[in-house]
Amino acid sequence: MTGIQDIATPRRTKEIIQRHGFSFKKSLGQNFLIDQNILNKIVSAAGLDDTKGALEIGPGIGALTEKLAQSAKVVTAVEIDQRLLPILEEVLAPYEHVKVRHGDVLKLDLQEVFASDFAGVSKVSVVANLPYYVTTPILMRLLEDKLPLENIVVMIQKEVAERMAASPGTKDYGSLSIAVQYYSEPELVCIVPNTVFIPQPNVESAVIRLRVRETPPVEVVDEKHFFEVIHAAFAQRRKTISNNLKSRFFTKENRDALEPLLQQAGIEPSRRGETLSIEEFARLSAVLLEAGIS
Ligand code: SAM
């Protein structure tokens, strides 16, 4: 659908910013999108329709919000920077089904937002060009809170997107890959050139889609313990799984107990954490728990 205003063009963005005397705050990760093609790719990856809702984090001056308003039944956008509120009020005036909330998304009660803003929609997706300084905390909070989400489609730093989508045995694979893949199925949508933003960020960017899982891909007895084992396994990447686990969970007195437990889980003690699949970590955590190691 063609926008009423098409905020995301270099000319219109500069005009809005100048008229409101707005200056970018680097500390808030403010890199605004000025490219219609990228916005259309982001919105189409979210699979929205007029029965669904969209939650946007950091609307800026509304470039993506406008597109979401044209594709979803209801849109809620959470913006931390108070200076952007009058701009958003102006540019989003034609869209009555868009609500802007002022605040830090990390401090917001998202369960309450879902109950009040998205009561009348079939499914909700998060769609955002995220502030890069808080990408991981925001995404982990969305996933760990087990919100009823369909997709999370976000522009993030390319390197972080690659880590999230990485497979075992690759250099990018680590605790972030496993955490994200436990809660969702990640898929890289596209790599994005720096020229689509003002100001241009110093890092490369990518759009990633996380299809949120209804149930995890493996059975985990105790999630807290499972993630502790994973963090321990990657504490020192060059060390073997055996040495990393010894440092975290064992004492001099009981460390001989580890190798038989690894064997029981079907894991060779000389392997490194980066070669273990999610299934293997789940098995390892269960075996350690059963032996009272936590
Ligand atoms: N969506 C706009 C676009 O694509 O042009 C702006 C994206 S810009 C990369 C990130 C936005 O997130 C900024 O508007 C910034 O003020 C806002 N922001 C930064 N930290 C935030 C937080 N903790 N909670 C909510 N919004 C935040």
Any idea what the Cα angle at residue 61 is, between residues 57 and 64, rounded to 5°? 55
Output the six-digit token pair for 27: 């500390």
**How far is the CA of 205 from the CAs of 47, 64, 177, 251, in angstroms?**
21, 16, 18, 44
What pLDDT score was predicted for residue 5? 63
Whether residue 283 contacts residue 266, with contact meaning beta carbons closer than 8 Å, is answered with yes
Task: Please report, to the nearest 10 degrees, the dihedral formed by the alpha carbons of residues 28, 158, 137, 171 taken in order.
Answer: -140
Q: Whose CA is nearest to atom 8 of ligand 1?
A: 30
Q: Is the pLDDT of residue 2 over 80?
A: no
60-67: average pLDDT: 98
Q: Is the pLDDT of residue 4 over 60?
A: no
- Domain covering 223-290, topology: Helicase, Ruva Protein; domain 3 (1.10.8)
Domain spans in the chain, listed from the N-terminal domain onward? 10-212, 223-290
Q: How confident is the model at residue 284 (pLDDT cuts 50, 70, 90)?
A: very high
The reply, when asked if residue 40 is annotated as ligand binding, is no
Q: How confident is the model at residue 6 (pLDDT cuts 50, 70, 90)?
A: confident
Q: How far away, in angstroms, is 198 Cα from ligand 1 center?
A: 13
Q: How far away, in angstroms, is 160 Cα from ligand 1 center?
A: 17
What pLDDT score was predicted for residue 9? 92
Q: Is the pLDDT of residue 3 over 70?
A: no
Residue 205 in contact with ligand 1 by CB distance below 6 A: no
What pLDDT score was predicted for residue 43? 98
Q: How far apart are CA 161 and CA 197, in angstroms?
A: 18
Residue 78 in contact with ligand 1 by CB distance below 6 A: yes
To test the pocket of ligand 1, the residue of 64, 66, 81 to mutate (highest count of ligand atoms within 8 Å of its CB) is 81
Q: Closest ligand 1 atom to the C-alpha of 25?
A: 16
Residue 134 in contact with ligand 1 by CB distance below 6 A: yes
Q: How far away, in angstroms, is 252 Cα from ligand 1 center?
A: 49
Q: In terms of CATH, what superfamily is 10-212? A: Vaccinia Virus protein VP39 (3.40.50.150)
DSSP assignment of 21-70, as one string?
T----GGGT--EE--HHHHHHHHHHTT--TT-EEEEE--TTSHHHHHHHT
